[in-house]
Amino acid sequence: MSISNKKGKNDWKEPEDKTKWLLDLIEAGESVVKGYEQYLLNRVDHIELAKLMTMLHDLLPMSINDNYDDNGNEKEEE
């Protein structure tokens, strides 16, 4: 659903099958929550958690990143 370019940004495309996308998004969200719980219990490491987070990230239209600079500060309107 998404394509990462060389800078790591996502060029998110609106899904054709929104029902499948929503089901995939719910599944990824549940996986991240469960993975984070396992991480807090020291049952998985940060690498496994990062894989789950990346899966979720790739399903989301991360356009909010365009509103912030590299330091996480909100960009001023031009």
Per-residue buried b or exposed e for 54-73, using 16+ beta carbons within 10 Å of the residue's own CB: ebbebbeeeeeeeeeeeeee
The pLDDT tens digits along the chain (78 residues) read: 444 444 455 567 788 999 999 999 999 999 999 999 999 999 999 999 999 999 998 888 876 666 667 777 777 765
Model pTM score: 0.64
Tokens found for residue 78: 């031009």
Instruction: Quote the CA–CA distance of 78 and 72 in Å, as a whole number.
Output: 18
**In contact, 66 and 9? CB cutoff 8 Å:** no
